[in-house]
Amino acid sequence: MSVNRSAATLVEVPRGLAGVVVADTEVGDVRGREGFYHYRQYSAVDLAHSRPFEDVWHLLVHGDLPDAPRAAAFAAETAALRRLPDQVAAALPAIAAAGAHADPLAGLRTALSLLGAAKGFRPVYDIDADRRREDTLAAAAAVPTLLTALYRLGKGLGPVEPREDLSYAANYLYMLTGAEPEPERARAVEQYLISTIDHGFNASTFTARVVTSTGADVAACLVAAVGALSGPLHGGAPSRALDTLDAIGTPDRIDPWIRERVLAGDRIMGFGHAVYRTEDPRSRMLREIAQRFGGPRVDFAVEVERQVEAILAELKPGRELHTNVEFYAGVVMEFCGLPREMFTPTFAAARVVGWSANILEQAEDKKIIRPAARYVGPRAPVPVSAA
């Protein structure tokens, strides 16, 4: 009887938990039908247009936008956390050399675990809110340093030490290339980073919150989130969207190339989104940034977008399929000098701030996230004790 009563309490939900509300949050929200998303009470796109990355980081972690003195103090505080502990820096060459192909995002999982140990991170369940915040700041500030060092080591180059006098975005480009970036390129990357800090309960954010609900330390929560982000259906698409432009090649090939893929049932990378039923506001902003730079590559991307949307409307009537953030993200990042293998790691360098805000919020709730599954395998015998 107890088995039957337990089964009766199970609730059927859509595949992938689509549309299911699993928690309350003050971090931000995505309003897919309106084509709008926000961080706390501020439009994310407006913030990308008007604020530096550090101010938005302050907003997500502390809950408000800082005035000038507090902004300067927060920027200085986080910049001072960019340098890695010696034992972590010493281990990076071995991490970068593991495997046939260097993968900075895969290496980040190992490096973050080591960073957490070196920094003495303790389970969030056992520490107070101030210590949790300190741990998230230390981890998030170190992520760009880890990613760029792993990339350069994988290419046979030496890591570039972080500079505290540069902004988060400019320092990221500096550590990646070894040269101080032009201001307009640094600002374009900064706007991309701001636009991708957080985006509702996406797979990696939800993963971070599930692990946080167990009381694990900040590094463990972030490692889990990075693992989720690495999947091509989540954060692994910016370079694939750019690969699509390369595969098409010239404007005269757009129509036949796209039609062939759509009729074959293939997914066109950079188009469609799980939440938006209208244009992705991040894509719109990144298109504007790309057009600000201009050039044949940008013109070609805009024409591909136009024709793909027309073909999709013809072949899949009734479905709203538009470019998502990955399509123009690849164009912008390529123009700013980022290699393709660093597109998704750059996404992680932004999203780590959103994960951190969600970790801090989830840590306040002591209830573990423990859903149920519907068993559909072979029938199991009834235990003698239950008969």
Taking the C-alpha atoms of residue 234 and residue 204, their distance in angstroms, rounded to an integer, is: 8
Q: Which of 81, 85, 102 is nearest to 93 (CA)?
A: 102
Q: Which of 226, 197, 221 is nearest to 209 (CA)?
A: 221
Distances (CA, A) of 297 to 31, 55, 291, 300, 337: 31, 32, 10, 5, 14
> The tokens of 244 are what?
């699509």
Q: Which of 264, 244, 243, 265 is nearest to 254 (CA)?
A: 244
Taking the C-alpha atoms of residue 254 and residue 304, their distance in angstroms, rounded to an integer, is: 6
Taking the C-alpha atoms of residue 61 and residue 357, their distance in angstroms, rounded to an integer, is: 5
The active-site residue, picked from 54, 58, 190, 273, is 273
User: What's the DSSP call for residue 84?
Assistant: P
49 is catalytic: no
Taking the C-alpha atoms of residue 19 and residue 262, their distance in angstroms, rounded to an integer, is: 26
The active-site residue, picked from 54, 190, 305, 326, is 326
The radius of gyration computed from the CA coordinates of the chain, to the nearest angstrom, equals 22
> The tokens of 345 are what?
């790691």
Q: How many residues does the chain have?
A: 387
273 is catalytic: yes
Q: Which of 68, 38, 40 is nearest to 52 (CA)?
A: 68
> The tokens of 299 are what?
């013109």
Taking the C-alpha atoms of residue 59 and residue 65, their distance in angstroms, rounded to an integer, is: 5
Q: Which residues are catalytic?
A: 273, 326
